[in-house]
Structure 1
């Protein structure tokens, strides 16, 4: 059977030609994508031999967002991101190595360029002179730091998180700063950027291949450097840059072959590297790797709404429920990848995927006022507190806390999400036209037509809550050029009006564009209407749960939110959000599920804040039944879903659903209520008996409970199960102990050791023994068997039966290594 992705690419063009044959002679037609057989003469686009892209990002300042998006950007500037230099220790100017011409000092890793990437673009989009001045301090710092050999930025003292790299071996932070410099050049035309990047890439070209892109972060995210190499090549035409691009691709993790890493931000940021390289290689397999990578991740871990996937740091086998989270960093990197792939391919599926994240996930990752952020957000997320939820989620620490002072990477990096989205509302097309891709109130000033005539087009809409979008040519001399209007994949019957002429299309379910080709002039109007229907999607691979959608919006149960201060400072407090109403509902669906809901349209919020309970302009009335057994589990997380339909004897209640992005607490992947033989009984969460384990040391992100949770690992390096470790004690003598509630006869023990060779510093112990307590003294058990330290198996020891109140397992850790246990059984 043909791959559905390939089938889409091969057949969509033919489908469009058949549909467009019945339309007026070429003025309004359906097309798969803008014509990429020509080269845009008004904007910098790809030079030979790079493939021309159907769409081209417009220069910063071309697009002025209005309405809710502008308010979102203003809130970001007023919130903690706009003042992060007063909050974050990494942005302190004193001794900051990003401001040192010699690259000396402190705080020289990713945090400064992460923050600047968003802050600079936010300043430009809002045209805020004070913010621009602050950003320029850091831009000048980078420009003034270049050495004679081409290196720039922090030098020998650079060191980061989760990496052994130091100094110049770590190319990752510079890769981010290159984006900042490109954006600055886009506005200023400052040739110092071209000079710096040319000299820096000459430096990289001289780095021996076996020394290039060393280490975890640079290797995973080398695609960002590839993008910058092509950016510079398109402005200088220096052929040696193509050789560097090939070396960069060879040394980058092979995302063109498979999903090579399961860290959520790496996936979101790098899954499309092959498609970027396709511009040079022209190999279809490179292009297709972006599609197959995206699909593979969603097939395994993304069987849920919201556009993302279950990866609360890393994807973990068996942890694919909608209660698992994803990083805020992952959301904004997914959006940028989708925006970039939209330009490279012209395939509107990438815009659909970007909107899914932008409208349904990102707004809820921060407080509505954007004065707090949480590291992790889930599709089914019923409590946002300052507690640790490990190992229910992978990391320890208060990852669900809305706190502007924590969550280091997301705290600095989330900021580019909305500014970059605003810059991609419109694109230039390869055939000197203009394309509206993401619909929201805005104004675009763009050069169009063969002569590059400047046109201003205003867009007015309540999208994504309403499907009507209006456009007006505000200025421009009569000029022929095409206008492209994106058709979302959920829209089957778009309607278009050009001045007073109407065009309607049916059976259109594969995205694409409406292309309007004519001589445009000031005063012309056009509009697109995309009827929005309520739909119910069944997630057959996730317990037959369902999600409810209308257009690009997915809905969540409206859970009353008790938001209160929890830490922080008076100026920048942190918040917890607890549920103040029941959340454990199954949907009661009619035979035709879509008929189970009533749309309620509300007055548009005067404060332009639709991503709140109060401001949401649409709502659904629905019916639901409580599932009393569905509760928080032992990790204080929403219990994982079970098979639907669910048997419940609770009465039918009226419930309300609001847009998922407006719900900081939400149930968006619902079980359904049922009756009879096909309905399953919901099992309450298993709360294990609190066994009296203790240890000489225990890493805060691990748990003693792992040793008796009865979840058996597949190997000693199994990252999908919970673990106990003595980290960061290394080479020492350590112990774990089990105290029985009363003396017990025991004669056998089994241990499954943890060992993360290749990933970390835990190994099986050098040796171990078992002691039992007798009259207050520890004595060794008597056995002729070996105390095994074998990998990937149970190490079982039988011994002479003893009756004791306590057992202690004592290990001698290997020199320079720590160790741990995945499971410990006593019989």
Structure 2
């Protein structure tokens, strides 16, 4: 009998093991988890909202590790955690957010607090949690009887209408606090506020300029509250806002980069209520529209150094740090709303390749914009090129300079960590954004399990998971397969899973899980080259999710501030103007990957700690340099002519390079290649006046307009001088032989007040200070929609000047200025 029982037990064990192996070797591939209402163990959408493929885990459920925790620790000891030391706006006793007698306060505290609290929750930092609670208690205590809260002056600050933009941010802080603490005051507080908001005039939602584009943040909180209370008036309010705020369904109504980064998600959010496909489709359509014109370079951002501007799409244009963090937030939210893994890919692209370069390695300095191609970070850019005149590139604490970015940055890494794991509506869990971490989540029959994730990703291609569970439990585990990988491989308890893990999909492992089960995901990385045909046929280099950059070496110098919080400029140590051979291919690159221990260091986004590098041969490009302000000059057509010697250069992940070239020209020694030195011979510009941040170098950027009102070509104007005599001059790097010049005049008849000039003439100088008219010049044309050329006997000149007499009551400008300089 005993032997029979032993045999039966052996057979049962064998059958269980076989069943586990069978489960481990089977899987399915889906485009998205199912969209279900009121299903799962976390708060999803309740009817009539569309079902939720994913549900956000409560603040504190995800504990980051590895380099991600390193970024968060640096935040805690840097500008985010110590904002009170550096910001004139984060002063508790003086703030109208907590002191009903004070009117001080706008977006700064709200920007900072919504990320600061989450930083404390994901790190388990009791000091940060306590300080965040202090602020939030003050806000909760001082709600007005009618439901309004915050600085009283904001009730009527927009021509008698309320400015509710900063309240949208503060609601995010309250939501995270509620998820972490369960404080019973939060839901009634938000309900009273939204009831008050329901009474404001409809004009409120389209007032205040940029504010009219940012109601997506408010709508997100409305749906969050509705899913917890079921109050029907909230859906009425969401519709009222959608109908009366800026329309992102039919296009992009704003030029402001942060408005775009936030606002494009609004139709997708409202799709959950309307159910109309056009609303969800509008998000992708708008994304593609912006990126096609302004995002034609690596890193995940677009050219929005405050505003997007037609003709300014070169990789030297920057993206505001606020833009990066808001775009990441949009991508993370759209992942949860749509279930489309492409949005998670996009969040990673910014997080790995752009965001780290926006800060100093110790996170005590930040700059306003970060460019794909940038070779000097100092105050030189303040005099033009970008759409603002304050400190755009130098690293500073910045909280009192431009206010928004240092405070708003606080949410970047905490939100990223919280979105790395998501619950699914079918009572499973998804690893959405890969990184070392632990996540506690209820699954299957309600059992709380803990997944531990160990990886050096994105600096390594293997992601390992281990499960802790008090008992066996059946549930689906979703693994995102990124777009860039090929032949992804999955193993469960060491056994390979037979599945075609196609990119931009989820592999679902739905099985009976046991304590100690392991999953290993390998995402093979390879070198890839991308040609950017709309950006002069330049090329970029990637390795897996990482974009690679050339860094010329960095010299850091303190330029001001305090010893604890310095301002710092960064200048190049060596040459940076390299191009890749015209016939370069992926096999030409030699990849060096350091150990996983190095890759998972707390701060891999530095030149000293970078875990991956690539070597390749390149040549310097004669004529490609920086302008007088240290901004890299625009790319010209590839291939560029270069007979310079081949050199071995090293590329590093662009997130680790504060100075970087990520979009390269190609080079060739063939005579039909373009000689860039003939296009960019200019040393310096001077002008009688200019409009805002218009850069005179756009006149010689080689971009040929199709008409005098061509808005896609950058322009230089003398606006707003009307009917006056104006001039613009250029000095050459060396004496030039010149016998002709051509000017393409800007004229915006029908939309503005710039016209071709009444007359003009060309002057020169030949080494002295005196400007002299060119002798025996041909006629000076002022025709629209063409180059107006003037010729004369050859002269050796060191500078040229256009002197124009403007027509009465109008201004003038130049789209392109060419010479036959030799």
* Bucket of the pairwise TM-score, normalised by the shorter protein: 0.7 to 0.9
TM-score by length of structure 2 reads 0.83
Q: 1:130 aligns with which of 110, 127, 132?
A: 127
Residue 128 of structure 1: how far off its partner (Å): 1.4
Residue 678 to residue 703, structure 1, CA distance change in 2 (3 Å): closer
3-state SS, counterpart of residue 81 of structure 2: helix
Residue 312 of structure 1: how far off its partner (Å): 1.2
Corresponding residue of 2:84: 85
1:36 aligns with 2:28: no
Corresponding residue of 1:535: 528
Residue 262 of structure 1: how far off its partner (Å): 2.2
How many angstroms apart in 1 are the aligned matches of 2:89 and 2:708? 40
Residue 94 of structure 1: how far off its partner (Å): 4.2
Residue 661 to residue 756, structure 1, CA distance change in 2 (3 Å): farther
Within 5 Å, give how 1:156-171 maps onto structure 2. Answer: 156=153, 165=158, 168-171=161-164
Residue 316 to residue 273, structure 1, CA distance change in 2 (3 Å): same
How many angstroms apart in 2 are the aligned matches of 1:706 and 1:359? 31
Q: 2:172 aligns with which of 176, 179, 190?
A: 179
CA RMSD of aligned residues (A): 3.5
Residue 807 of structure 1: how far off its partner (Å): 8.7
Residue 190 of structure 1: how far off its partner (Å): 1.6
Within 5 Å, give how 1:453-472 maps onto structure 2. Answer: 453-472=447-466
The question of whether the paired residues in 2 share the 8 Å contact of 1:601 and 1:619 is answered with: yes
Residue 391 to residue 477, structure 1, CA distance change in 2 (3 Å): same
How many angstroms apart in 2 are the aligned matches of 1:309 and 1:751? 28
Q: 1:247 aligns with which of 218, 231, 240?
A: 240
1:437 aligns with 2:408: no
Residue 217 of structure 1: how far off its partner (Å): 2.3
How many angstroms apart in 2 are the aligned matches of 1:670 and 1:206? 55
Give the gaps of 5 or more residues in structure 1: 1-22, 728-732, 742-748, 771-791, 795-804, 814-818
Within 5 Å, give how 1:239-638 maps onto structure 2. Answer: 239-405=232-398, 406-450=401-445, 452-506=446-500, 509-588=502-581, 593-603=585-595, 604-605=597-598, 607-638=601-632
Residue 504 of structure 1: how far off its partner (Å): 4.4
Residue 655 to residue 350, structure 1, CA distance change in 2 (3 Å): same
Residue 307 of structure 1: how far off its partner (Å): 0.8
The question of whether the paired residues in 2 share the 8 Å contact of 1:534 and 1:550 is answered with: yes
Residue 547 to residue 810, structure 1, CA distance change in 2 (3 Å): closer
Residue 631 to residue 739, structure 1, CA distance change in 2 (3 Å): closer
How many angstroms apart in 2 are the aligned matches of 1:207 and 1:25? 57
Residue 283 of structure 1: how far off its partner (Å): 0.6
The question of whether the paired residues in 2 share the 8 Å contact of 1:553 and 1:660 is answered with: yes
The question of whether the paired residues in 1 share the 8 Å contact of 2:44 and 2:54 is answered with: no
Residue 702 to residue 322, structure 1, CA distance change in 2 (3 Å): closer
1:111 aligns with 2:99: no
How many angstroms apart in 2 are the aligned matches of 1:308 and 1:750? 32
TM-score by length of structure 1 reads 0.83
How many angstroms apart in 1 are the aligned matches of 2:670 and 2:686? 43
How many angstroms apart in 1 are the aligned matches of 2:208 and 2:502? 44
How many angstroms apart in 2 are the aligned matches of 1:708 and 1:30? 53
Residue 192 of structure 1: how far off its partner (Å): 1.7
Structure 1 residues 323-377: Cα deviation after superposition (integer angstroms, max 9, x where no partner) = 1110011111111101101011111100111110000000101111111101011
The question of whether the paired residues in 1 share the 8 Å contact of 2:536 and 2:637 is answered with: yes
The question of whether the paired residues in 1 share the 8 Å contact of 2:375 and 2:571 is answered with: yes
Corresponding residue of 1:786: none
Residue 485 of structure 1: how far off its partner (Å): 0.7
The question of whether the paired residues in 2 share the 8 Å contact of 1:619 and 1:659 is answered with: yes
How many angstroms apart in 1 are the aligned matches of 2:119 and 2:438? 17
The question of whether the paired residues in 1 share the 8 Å contact of 2:621 and 2:676 is answered with: yes
Once the two structures are overlaid, the 10-residue window that deviates more, 207-216 or 127-136, is: 207-216
Give the gaps of 5 or more residues in structure 2: 1-21, 731-742, 761-783, 787-800, 818-822
How many angstroms apart in 1 are the aligned matches of 2:802 and 2:349? 54
Once the two structures are overlaid, the 10-residue window that deviates more, 271-280 or 710-719, is: 710-719
The question of whether the paired residues in 1 share the 8 Å contact of 2:315 and 2:372 is answered with: yes
Residue 258 to residue 477, structure 1, CA distance change in 2 (3 Å): same
Structure 1 residues 141-180: Cα deviation after superposition (integer angstroms, max 9, x where no partner) = 3212322222111122579xxxx82675211111111111
Residue 601 of structure 1: how far off its partner (Å): 1.5
How many angstroms apart in 1 are the aligned matches of 2:814 and 2:406? 36
The question of whether the paired residues in 1 share the 8 Å contact of 2:694 and 2:715 is answered with: no
3-state SS, counterpart of residue 322 of structure 1: coil
3-state SS, counterpart of residue 156 of structure 1: helix
Residue 704 to residue 681, structure 1, CA distance change in 2 (3 Å): closer
1:669 aligns with 2:657: no
1:648 aligns with 2:642: yes
How many angstroms apart in 2 are the aligned matches of 1:602 and 1:751? 55
Structure 1 residues 777-814: Cα deviation after superposition (integer angstroms, max 9, x where no partner) = xxxxxxxxxxxxxxx999xxxxxxxxxx999989999x
The question of whether the paired residues in 1 share the 8 Å contact of 2:385 and 2:695 is answered with: no
How many angstroms apart in 2 are the aligned matches of 1:125 and 1:337? 20
